[in-house]
Structure 1
Amino acid sequence: MMRSMYSGVSGLRIHQTKMDVIGNNIANVNTVGFKSSRVTFSEVFSQTIQGASGASENTGGRNPMQIGLGSSISSVDIDMGEGAAQRTDNPLDLKIEGDGFFVVSDITGNKFTRAGAFRIDEAGNLVTPEGLNVMGWKADQATGEVQKGQVEPIQILNPVNLYSEPSATENITLSGNININDTQLSDPNGVPFTANFYDSLGYRYTAEYRITNLPLANENQFTITLTDAGITDADGNVGVATGLAPIAQIIEFDPATGKIIAGPDTFDMTNLVTPFSTFSTMSVDFGDLTLFAGNTTLEAISGDINGIGSGNQAGSISGFEVGGDGKVIGRYTNGQTKLLGQIVVAAFQNPAGLQKVGSNLFVATTNSGDFDGLGQDITSRGGSFNSGVLEMSNVDLSREFTEMITTQRGFQANSRIITSSDELLQELVNLKR
């Protein structure tokens, strides 16, 4: 009689535990990166009333006779299924597409999360809302590549990353057309054009050139002469470079095609001296010049045809973005970009073996596998980061409501076992009367 009552009590307990898990799942239906849990039951050991016996000549075999003694919790499992995407358009919100966890850290050590709602603190660190540092690989400023190794806090706005260093102009591309009948070409002042370039300190110069066909005898040859150069400092003051001497270069066209066939490879700037810098040479590409009919139009652009070697002034950071591979790219006011670091992921043999510690965080356990301290490039596992998107909770409300109904019915049925057993005991007591 009492066995049924205690079985009912065990049923009440496990169904109450299951309802607790369901309640927590539903409470976190809108929690970023939340992973729902489920409860499974198992029977408690059974009391054997009579053991099994084999068949003999006179009797057949008999099965064992057992009475179960209730049920217990078998497991509370974490569902590591990926949640749906929620678009936020915040560049610091990241969603992991695929397996893996963000690595975050505080004074107690590394922890792991799927919730990518990050922000920048006053020191320029990329952190979680609770202030844990997001970990990854730092960038080598000398090589512009990430340094793979032990994970470190990603500091986006450290003093080194706040500014982009200037660089001198190395290449100039000259394009346009020269009309051989343009009378201005025979004038000593020629046809003027300008070229802008930077020195190694980021000071911007405007060099003035003229192109003439004097005093050359070949009408398909022209002289390009550097006539003046101006410099603009940080305050907008314009001055004239000192020690400037005319620099002349000769170019020649094929009269049959109107295309350039001869020209210098460089502008020799060794005798251009300013109060700030000295110059060497800049490579120049004359390949886009033509000798066709039409207007004479000349344009000098800093950099080669791909914009490489154009030079730039110093710049301050104006924004940043996180690529699909986790690389954080800084954008600067001078048009340059710079790699600031790379966010990595941690992978585990058994992600469901991780232990929840609150605030959407997990820690490694002996059954999840250890974190190697290095992390992985997310693309090495076929995954990627999605910027401006968060991973939503993977709670399925339809399933939770169904589980809630069956759990309530199970609890109700077990309570009836207790009340019915109590009524039987009451009848037994009444036999004395």
Structure 2
Amino acid sequence: MMRSLYSGVAGLKTHQTKMDVIGNNIANVNTVGFKSSSVNFADQFYQTMSNATGADAATGAAGTNAKQIGLGSTVASITTNITEQGGTQTTNRALDVAINGDSFLIVKSAGATYFTKSGALNVDANGTLYCTTNGATVQGWMAQTDAQGNQSIVKNTVQDLQVMSAANMYYAPTETSAVTITGNIDKADTDLVVNDPTIIDTKNGKKLTFSFYDELGQEYTVKMNLYRNGSGTTGTGTDAQATSVYSVTLADVTDADGNSIFVKKTVANGATSYSSTKVKINLGGVEYTIANETTDINQKTGEFTITGTGTVPTLSFIAETGDFSTVSDANIPNTSTDWGKSLVFQVTDAGTLDNTFTKYVPATDSGGVKVDFSSLTQYSSSGVSSTSYSKGSTKGLGTGNTAGEMSGISIDDKGMIYGTYNNGSKKLLAQIAVATFSNPSGLEAEGDSLFSATLNSGTFDGVGEDVSLSGSFAVGALEMSNVDLAAEFTSMITTQRGFQANSRIITTSDTMLEELVNLKR
């Protein structure tokens, strides 16, 4: 009879433990990244009254089973339902991420490494990415820049992601290396005057312009002249085709304020004077400069004339179809992919200007600004030519940019963190790393939505892995608690009834003991 009392007590304890777990689950029904737990019971302690016996053929006695009395129940395990995905709540915050899959964010707090499903992230005063639910810093890999300026992620040991460091707050300027001229040239356009191809005309013709950035991110505008100089042919023999030929010359180069880089304006004692900057510009093999400062600059108006020396580059179209044929520039070697398609713009002598323009090096086919004309056509268009340009090659490379200041950061579904800048540029800063475990249920909860690795969960290698190997990030969303309220309330009912039943064991056993005591009366 005393055994039943202890069995009842054991049952009360186990059901109380289960109720504690249920209460904790329900309390965290809205906790970001919370994983619910469940309790499993096991019977315990059997007192054997008699052992089992086998059959005896000699006596004909049958075998008997063991006589055992159990002593109640115990908590066999409290299992965290860690692999069950919680619901996704949309927040539309750029730094909120929900993990689709079994992986965990790697975070560090007080020097120790933990793991979490809470993706409510932000940036602290030091520019480091951290988890707002526990204050732990998010771990991952920082982007590295190679000698060519390309950025990539190198997956070494994880580290704090200081995405808004001083180095990342600004985007360094880069020079423009390519420009693409687009549009259509109508040969009936009255602006396309016919000139002697041996004369380098810097004043007349159809005006074409493009702009570029120098090494400091300063923008300049180049003004060119396009004029007709007759016809020609391309190809040989049966492949020969008639072409319409145009000359391309330089008219001017101006800075961001609209001032020409060929002339310097000086105001002293109320008097204005103009002088040559001595700059020399090469476009398509022709070098332009102010040849005579005295005669080529009007000291009253500041108007000037530049003179070109060299062979004028020509632009040709197939006369029959109006398609682009070729453009000539002796500077570009025929081994270059830009040969026959582009002219090179470069500053061969900076004069008194800051030398922030890169010069073209034919041996390496690098430097300068390659002006690609291959997208131009010569179709009939009511005598009106319409042209435009875009920075960069036809593949969008070499656009260049001004210096920029960080305006925000964003995360993509692979955990790549990008900085956006007010100059329109975007830069890879880092990547968030994740960790997976062979037995994620073996992780030990530490509170604050943190888990730590144990001997039964598997170890963390210190490097982590790309989230795309096991899932993805849902950006602008959070993984909520995976608590199932319907299941929890059902378990609460069965737990309450189990507790009541075990309490009846104790009261009934007490009544029986009372009857035994009353036998003396």
The residue identity in structure 2 corresponding to 1:256 is E
The correspondence for 2:474, drawn from 364, 386, 393, is 386
**Relative to structure 1, is the Cα distance of residues 82 and 345 closer, same or farther in structure 2, using a 3 angstrom cutoff?**
same
Match among 115, 119, 132 for residue 136 of structure 2: 132
Aligned identity (percent) is 44
Distance 1:379 1:297 in 2: 47
Q: How far apart, CA to CA, are the structure 2 residues paired with 1:160 and 1:305?
A: 31
Give the TM-score normalised by structure 1. 0.95
State how 1:329-408 maps to structure 2 within 5 Å.
329-381=418-470, 383-408=471-496
RMSD (CA atoms): 1.7
Task: State the AA in 2 paired with 1:220.
Answer: S
3-state SS of 1:173 partner: strand
Distance 2:129 2:395 in 1: 34
CA contact (8 A) 2:326 2:374 kept: no
Q: Does structure 1 retain, via aligned residues, the 8 Å contact 2:252–2:260?
A: no
Is the 1:328–1:339 contact (alpha carbons within 8 Å) kept by the matching residues of 2?
yes
Contact between 1:83 and 1:391, CA under 8 Å: does it hold in 2?
yes
Structure 2 residues not aligned, in runs of 5+? 195-202, 233-242, 263-276, 281-287, 289-306, 329-341, 360-367
Deviation at 1:300, TM superposition (A): 2.5
Q: Secondary structure at the match of 1:271?
A: strand
Q: Please report how far the alpha carbon of residue 39 of structure 1 lies from its aligned counterpart in structure 2 after TM superposition.
A: 0.6
Question: In structure 2, how many angstroms separate the alpha carbons of the residues matched to 1:203 and 1:427?
Answer: 103
Asked if 1:240 corresponds to 2:243, the answer is no
Matches within 5 A, 1:19-418: 19-56=19-56, 57-80=59-82, 81-129=84-132, 130-142=134-146, 143-186=150-193, 189-214=204-229, 220-232=244-256, 238=259, 240-241=261-262, 242=277, 243-244=279-280, 245=288, 248-264=312-328, 265-271=342-348, 273=350, 274-280=353-359, 281-294=368-381, 295-381=384-470, 383-418=471-506
Compute the displacement of 1:181 (Å): 2.1
One-letter code aligned to 2:64:
R
Deviation of residue 419 (structure 1)?
A: 0.5
Deviation at 1:108, TM superposition (A): 3.1
Q: For each residue in 1:266-291, what CA deviation from the matched residue of structure 2 results, as whole angstroms up to 9, or x when unmatched?
A: 22323363335234232222122122
* Cα distance in 2 for residues equivalent to 1:304 and 1:337: 19
Q: Is the 8 A contact 1:172 1:301 kept in 2?
A: yes
Shift of 1:334: 1.7
Give the C-alpha shift of residue 239 in structure 1.
5.0
Distance change (3 Å), C-alpha of 1:374 and 1:217: closer
CA deviation profile, 1:32-80 (whole Å, cap 9, x unmatched): 0001101111111211111111112321111111111111110011101
**Post-superposition offset of 1:186:** 1.3
Would you say the 8 A contact 1:268–1:282 is kept in 2?
yes
CA deviation profile, 1:106-157 (whole Å, cap 9, x unmatched):
2231100011111110111000123211000111033400121100011110
Maintained 8 Å contact 1:303/1:310: yes
Select 2:515's aligned residue among 419, 427, 432. 427
Aligned to 1:425, the other structure's residue is in SS state helix
For residue 237 of structure 1, report the CA deviation from its aligned partner: 7.5
Indicate the residue corresponding to 2:17 in structure 1: 17
Higher mean Cα deviation, 305-314 or 150-159?
305-314
Moved over 4 A (4+): 216-219, 236-239
Given that 2:183 and 2:375 are in contact with CA atoms closer than 8 Å, whether structure 1 keeps it comes out as yes
Question: Structure 1 unaligned runs (5+)?
Answer: none
1:221-280 deviation per Cα after TM superposition (whole angstroms, max 9, x unaligned): 111111111112xxx584534424256431112111111212032223233633352342
- Deviation digits for residues 193-241 of structure 1 (CA, Å, limit 9, x no counterpart): 2111011110100111111125x57682111111111112xxx584534
Contact 2:211 2:220 in 1 (8 A): yes
CA distance in 1, matches of 2:104, 2:32: 13
| Bigger mean CA offset, 197-206 vs 236-245 | 236-245
Work out the CA distance in 2 between the residues paired with 1:118 and 1:279. 43
Judged with a 3 Å threshold, the aligned counterparts in structure 2 of structure 1 residues 238 and 11 are, in CA distance, closer, same or farther, namely farther
- AA aligned to 2:172 is E
Q: Using the alignment, how far apart are the partners of 2:343 and 2:491 within structure 1?
A: 78
In 2, the alpha carbon distance for the partners of 1:193 and 1:263 equals 15
Q: Is the deviation greater in 117-126 or in 240-249?
A: 240-249
Aligned-partner SS, 1:181? coil
Q: CA separation in 1, counterparts of 2:320 and 2:231? A: 18
Q: Which stretch has the larger CA shift, 40-49 or 404-413?
A: 40-49
Contact residue 272 and residue 278 of structure 1 kept, 8 A: no
Structure 1: how far apart are the matches of 2:74 and 2:231?
A: 106
Task: Kindly provide the amino acid, as one letter, of the partner of residue 40 in structure 1.
Answer: N
Deviation at 1:356, TM superposition (A): 0.7
Q: C-alpha distance in 1, partners of 2:372/2:140? A: 42
- More displaced stretch, 45-54 vs 182-191: 182-191
